[in-house]
Chains A and B, each alone.
Chain A
Amino acid sequence: MGGNKVKNRRPANSVISALPWIGPAILLILLVVVWPAIELIRISLTKITSAGALEGFNGLGNYRLLFENPDLKTIAIRTVTWVLSVVFLTVIISLPLAQLINQNFPGRKFVRWAMIVPWAASVVMTSIIWKWMLELTSGEFNLTLRQLGLQDGQPVDWLRDPRYSFFVLIWVAVFVSIPFTTFVILAGLQSIPHDIIEAAQVDGASSWQVYRGIKFPLLRNSLLIATIINLINVFNSFPIIWALTRGGPGYNTDTTTTFAYKMAFVEYNMGPSTALGVINFGFIMLIVLIYLRVTKATRDQA
């Protein structure tokens, strides 16, 4: 795609002549992304009532209120645990899966299609299906454990038992993140020229040596991109937690994302919520900047 971009371009134009073409796109981005971002930052520095009325400049008052919240520290630590473990597990599981569905076997197309399903389906709906499968008495999960003889006596209430509920959320997040990640890695595998691999095979390299010595280093870029996009998606992941536990019981499964939402739209505690919103936004900005830096080299080649 786009191999001969430079040749196809006409001489440089002024930005004015570009505006009729790119203006609408800029306008839409300003309206939908930039405006809310500025509004969020503005409100975070303003005194705001629970009904949403503004009562003048408040300096860092909202931030002070936020950091006085005794639950914040635990929630922040949980958020870091959540993002790192989901992304790590997703990438570690996706690597061999991509390798697997890159092999030649009958029905490969259907296996790939099956793997697309969790990616295409709504995340809330998938989460609700998992909620049903994890049901105490009639859920698929406990049923399978019983039939395999791995569970006798009291079945486990995976979603309500505080010892397990957070792991269940991690599990569902990994489940919905794997397909996209696997397909990005698969695209990376498919872009490796065949002759390099054949040459190594002719030289007597085992398939593990080929993977370790040739394929894996060439996957660096795909892995990096998949990791960064997952970091952002998992950090933003609101529907899974909302559908399965609503961050509860209490704040027991909240991340900073669901906590900010809960404060704003359930507890009407707008001030600290906007402060946390700005911090969340800042964190994503940081990852986006890293992403733009990392991809710059490849974009400049294009």
Chain B
Amino acid sequence: MKLNWTPKKAATAISAYMVGLFFIYPYINMILTSLKPHGELYATPTTRLPKSWQFDNYLDVWAAAPIADFLTASVVVSICATLLVLIVSVPAAYYVARNRFRGRSAFLLLVLATQMFSPTALIIGIFREVKFFGLLDTWPALIVVNAGFNLAFAVWLLSGFFASVPVEIEEAAMVDGCTRFQALRRIVLPVTLPGLVTAVIFTFVATWNEFTVALTIISSPSRQPISTGITTFVGQYDVAWEYLFTTTAIAIVPVVILFISIEKYLVGGLTAGSVK
């Protein structure tokens, strides 16, 4: 970009930087607090930067709280929910993109409607269903519920990608002796890879951040994912903010990087083809 600084352009740039700073400031504050020794948290006068930088907080926190357990739960649940979403959404999205069939619009409406629901409104029904299956306080329940509520995003996004692959290329492959499944795997999937990556990351991050369902169906501290696990810090009389924030930093930074990597496709998937 050529830099021809006019006052107007400078004003635009400076206001944009301030907006950007404003939206990450809480997270900067989080990281700065995570690097303070406990004694500095409530010290007067308050300082923004730590007076002695306590990088050891990031080592000590593993012993101070069961965050290894929390992270294991989050990783396992998020990966399994993502896999389940992929297994279920890829065939559905492909078929919908390629075929007309009776009930096609009804199916698409059903998917679109579920995208708009969050588990919060249905939480009592979800709790009772999970209890009915004897799965309270288990990861499988959390995995299936998260997969169900994130399915719609993947189906919509992927069907758009599948529809953009010309059917002729695929048919040519089938003429050359590929089965339909082989054509899907060798021809279509590589082209739609950005869509798959987006669906994977989106589902992973959404499950990683999910709070209400985890709060309701997971009761054992050792089985909690990080999103509900961190709230156990807050209830205590003397909140160990420095450890709380090392934990949230560990939980937030990776998913932010993942999310930024799919920026381009996020809006399209979330608004389900309604914003052109």
Contacts and interface: CB of A to CB of B under 8 A. Distances in A.
Interface of A: 1-5, 7-15, 17-18, 20-22, 24-26, 28-29, 31-33, 35-40, 43, 52, 97, 100-101, 103-108, 110-126, 128-133, 137-138, 140, 143, 175, 178-180, 183-184, 186-188, 191, 221-222, 225, 229, 232-233, 236, 238-239, 242-243, 257, 260-261, 264-265, 270, 273-274, 277, 280-281, 284, 287-288, 291-292, 294-295, 298-299, 301-302
Contact of B163 (A4, A104, A123, A178): A4
B164 A129 contact: no
Nearest to A139: B46
Interface residues of B, number: 112
A288 B227 CA distance: 28
Given A128-B230, A187-B267, A140 B29 contact: yes
B263 A33 contact: no
Contact of B100 (A12, A97, A126, A239): A12
Interface stretch (B49-57, B61-69, B206-214): B206-214
Given A125-B227, A133-B26, 18 more contacts: A8-B98, A22-B107, A24-B88, A32-B144, A33-B114, A105-B12, A105-B16, A114-B24, A120-B255, A120-B256, A121-B255, A126-B26, A128-B230, A128-B248, A175-B23, A175-B26, A261-B123, A287-B116
B271 interface: yes
Contacts of A281: 121-122
Contacts of A22: 91-92, 95-96, 107
Given A32-B145, A287-B116, A15 B103 contact: yes
Contacts of B17: 107, 111
A24 to B, nearest CB: 4
Contact of B48 (A13, A112, A140): A140
Given A25-B89, A236-B118, A14 B102 contact: yes
A140 B241 CA distance: 14
Given A140-B29, A238-B212, A1 B164 contact: yes
B175 to A, nearest CB: 15
A38 B128 CA distance: 11
Contacts of A112: 263
Nearest to A111: B20
Majority secondary structure, A binding face? helix
A195 B17 CA distance: 29
A301 B241 CA distance: 52
Contacts of A25: 88-89, 91-92, 107, 111, 151, 155
Nearest to A184: B267
Contacts of B3: 106
23 contacts: A4-B164, A10-B98, A18-B104, A25-B91, A25-B151, A28-B84, A31-B129, A100-B15, A103-B12, A111-B16, A116-B256, A121-B209, A125-B251, A128-B234, A128-B244, A132-B245, A179-B23, A183-B266, A232-B116, A260-B124, A265-B216, A284-B116, A298-B274
